[in-house]
Structure 1
């Protein structure tokens, strides 16, 4: 796969991610939900942490995560460029492209959303509000909306530790960017032999 094709893939995925977030941000209030199926819902939540809603505690946790993402995206970008230069397999380049687009999608939220959108609590957010955004540069919140509660109910009493408790599978709310990162890693994991072929020793 050429660098041009990888760039097109990244651009398309990044565009889908940002358009979906822009739509949710300007048409939903925090906590608002649309039930598509029993097992799939559009639920607007925001998080200040990692993928799948995980968070880093502490006053500077958010800033540290954003800076880490910026450093990581440079490393992933170099990995992509180097792989294309070395004419690596299409599977490897596609996997890296997916991971890069997902990481970049969440970086945009973390870096810019705090200054280009106002708050979504009890109101629809406005793009580039006159009174300023809800946060500052590097302190934006990541927009999540994809929710797949495949099963909900009380666990049997005989299950250790969690028996009798109400449980939802799958509970995290995520976005297109998270999906790209996940699919990219799974792609490299499943097709690792094709992605990272071992050179056969040649007899002299």
Structure 2
């Protein structure tokens, strides 16, 4: 039983540390307007950006309340996943592989929540009102932004605990063949993502494809 706890939460801790190490390095070493960097050929690139929403930059509403609701949803989801994993660990019939997969989802959710909770507090000087991902129409918070010597007031997002952006950096830069109808020439997967997003995706995909193994019928 102890071994199952150590392995499951060891995986969670490893993913969390790796995710945060990469994010902090990216945030403190790259700028928004830096060109993307080829990591593997031209199809897998590093492209720094931040988003105010969920995995792969998707949104849950807009403005202060949408962001706050999203952060609260993440907290509730993480508590529920931890409770579920703790119950499953105690069941000897539950496979260790399933516990590890559940740990991937937990680590991914916690990794992105950490950004929202603490990055505005950890990196206050990195906030730039002129960058699009820091601007929210209707926020009521105005700051001056200078574009090419011209200054104008822009509405920026709320900042502080639970309001931070999530840091993303990886992008597949592959395109569908031109001969394909509707999809020809478009990017196969245009979203920019991070290690936490990847952990959630891998965990969910494994549960879907191996559900007969994880949940055998009695």
TM range (shorter): 0.7 to 0.9
Structure 2 contact 7–100 (Cα < 8 Å) conserved: no
1:135, distance to aligned residue in structure 2 (A): 2.2
* 1:43 alignment partner, SS class: strand
Match for residue 181 of structure 2 among 147, 159, 162: 159
Match for residue 60 of structure 2 among 56, 60, 72: 56
For each residue in 1:37-87, what CA deviation from the matched residue of structure 2 results, as whole angstroms up to 9, or x when unmatched?
A: 210110101001010111123321111000000000000001110110112
Structure 1 alignment gaps of length 5 or more: 124-133, 200-204
For each residue in 1:63-114, what CA deviation from the matched residue of structure 2 results, as whole angstroms up to 9, or x when unmatched?
A: 1000000000000001110110112111211110010000000010011111
Give the alignment of 1:9-158 within 5 angstroms.
Answer: 9-32=11-34, 33-36=36-39, 37-59=41-63, 60-87=65-92, 88-118=94-124, 119=126, 121=128, 135-151=159-175, 155=178
* 1:185 alignment partner, SS class: helix
* 2:77 alignment partner, SS class: helix
Runs of 4+ in 1 over 6 A off after TM superposition: none
Query: RMSD in angstroms over aligned alpha carbons?
Result: 2.2
* 1:168 alignment partner, SS class: coil
Alignment partner, residue 146 of structure 2: none
- Could you say if the C-alpha distance between residues 79 and 31 of structure 1 is closer, same or farther in structure 2, counting changes exceeding 3 Å? farther
Structure 1 contact 91–188 (Cα < 8 Å) conserved: no
1:181, distance to aligned residue in structure 2 (A): 0.4
Structure 1 contact 53–172 (Cα < 8 Å) conserved: yes
Q: Between Structure 1 and Structure 2, how many residues are aligned?
A: 184
* 2:186 alignment partner, SS class: strand
* 1:143 alignment partner, SS class: strand
